Structure 1
């Protein structure tokens, strides 16, 4: 199950830089994860400074 970014995202971009498959991109108001590309590695969640990324 892919990871998701909640409304708590502060758009710092740390997660996008950590993703090994480039599944994270800047959306309209925050970063978003492409569920079809995400490999469920958890690197993004570990990198998020505000805990806004969870397995969804």
Structure 2
């Protein structure tokens, strides 16, 4: 179930423990690729147990 969206992706609610953010067309152009990489770098710096990544 979609619970929100932003300029760069859609947040999906999976269950009470998991929410996923799908970034659509993340690498279609240079600007979007840089923004996606920037967001990933910020999240990696959080070092929080509830933040993880899966790339498909």
Q: TM-score, normalised by structure 2?
A: 0.37
Q: TM-score, normalised by structure 1?
A: 0.37
Q: Counting strand residues as a fraction of each chain, which structure ranks higher?
A: 2
Q: Counting helix residues as a fraction of each chain, which structure ranks higher?
A: 2
